[in-house]
Structure 1
């Protein structure tokens, strides 16, 4: 209970107390979006690290050498908790953001921070808007930034981390059309941080493994047609292997 209250208090105070800074970043953004993005990235990374500490999350990170630091990339993660974004973002080595549900765009102040770190808001009921998000994400990756996608489309509420929900193949167009590598991100045990104990937080050991980059161009014709399923199998094997480390 105490972890939950302290975490909520920190998040609320952070958003309120950094309003003057956000105002300055907004002014900077009008002239230099890249600079505004770098400042926002530093601040959000710090805040997310603090939230992980307050929640009592112990992260074992595997494969950090697979995270590109000099080019755009498409990160593909399984989704079990609202903390999946909070835990993974501090590990990113370049600027970039996540493809999130459009409902998050309605969260005051936080939605501005998300825009400044290059996140996208996807309306799954609007095909035209969805296609535009994909095109914008492709352009972002080509510019050297990352895009992080949860291709299951929603949080997996199953008892265990596997089986994964079906991956939406359309999500992988960002990689296939940009020529960027796919980095599988297998997150184990994150559901035990919050969702399984709602509304309270529980100290939890989480394993995050950043898999070896997948080059879509190097795949066979059949694998290219089903690159989502190809990635899903790799992540399934990783999650099953890492279950013994928890």
Structure 2
């Protein structure tokens, strides 16, 4: 209970106390978006590291060498916990935005920080609005901002982390239309922090692995037709290996 309270207090204090800084960064972004982006990134990474320490998380990162350093990418990962986002921002090497569910845009202050962090809000129930989000993601990629998406569409509550829900094929349109590489991401141990024993937060060892880049245009025709299913199988295999090593 203490860890949960401390984490909640840390988040609220951060959102309230950094509001003046947020306003400054929003203004600075109009003149120097890259500098404002990196400052925002470093601040969010800092608070996420503090939250992970409060939660008692230890973590191991693998495969950073697989991430191209000369271009933006689309990270595609499994999703079992709110802490997936924490671990993602703590370990990616460059500016990255997450594709979030539309409901998040209603949360005061948090929504403005998410916008600062290049996050996009996806309405899966509205095809037209969903297309706008995909097009915005393509523009982010072209502008050098990597994007991260969870193609399962929601957190997977299943007991077996190796059994992923079906991927929404449209999720990979950002990579298909922009030509950027897809980086498959496998995470294990995040659900054990919070979701497995809600509402308690408990220590866990998290492993996050960044797989080898996938270039959709280079895939065989049968895999190009269903890139989501193809990527899902790769991530399933990665998770199975990680679980065997835990």
Same fold (TM over 0.5): yes
Partner residue of 1:230? 230
Distance in 1 (CA, whole Å) between partners of 2:127 and 2:33 is: 28
Distance in 2 (CA, whole Å) between partners of 1:173 and 1:104 is: 22
Distance in 1 (CA, whole Å) between partners of 2:113 and 2:241 is: 36
Partner residue of 1:164? 164
Partner residue of 2:69? 69
CA contact 1:73–1:181 (8 Å) conserved in 2:
yes
CA contact 1:66–1:211 (8 Å) conserved in 2:
yes
Deviations 1:16-61 (A, max 9, x none): 1111211211221233333221211110111111111111111121
- Larger mean CA deviation between 31-40 and 228-237 belongs to 31-40
CA contact 2:138–2:177 (8 Å) conserved in 1:
yes
Distance in 2 (CA, whole Å) between partners of 1:96 and 1:63 is: 17
Distance in 1 (CA, whole Å) between partners of 2:224 and 2:47 is: 38
- Displacement of 1:90 in angstroms is 1.8
- How many residues are aligned here? 246
The 5 A counterparts of 1:1-246 are 1-246=1-246
Deviations 1:167-205 (A, max 9, x none): 000011111111110000001121111011111101011
CA contact 2:79–2:152 (8 Å) conserved in 1:
yes
Distance in 2 (CA, whole Å) between partners of 1:128 and 1:119 is: 18
- Displacement of 1:245 in angstroms is 2.1
CA contact 1:72–1:142 (8 Å) conserved in 2:
yes
Unaligned runs of 5+ in 1: none
Distance in 1 (CA, whole Å) between partners of 2:41 and 2:143 is: 17
Q: Which consecutive aligned stretches of 4+ in structure 1 deviate over 3 angstroms post-superposition?
A: none
CA contact 1:161–1:189 (8 Å) conserved in 2:
no
Unaligned runs of 5+ in 2: none
CA contact 1:101–1:123 (8 Å) conserved in 2:
yes
Distance in 2 (CA, whole Å) between partners of 1:66 and 1:47 is: 26
Per the normalisation by structure 1, the TM-score is 0.97
CA contact 1:70–1:144 (8 Å) conserved in 2:
no
Distance in 2 (CA, whole Å) between partners of 1:197 and 1:68 is: 37
SS at match of 1:148: strand
CA contact 2:61–2:91 (8 Å) conserved in 1:
no
Distance in 1 (CA, whole Å) between partners of 2:29 and 2:65 is: 31
Distance in 2 (CA, whole Å) between partners of 1:74 and 1:36 is: 22
Aligned Cα root-mean-square deviation (Å): 1.1
Distance in 2 (CA, whole Å) between partners of 1:183 and 1:160 is: 23
CA contact 1:68–1:94 (8 Å) conserved in 2:
no
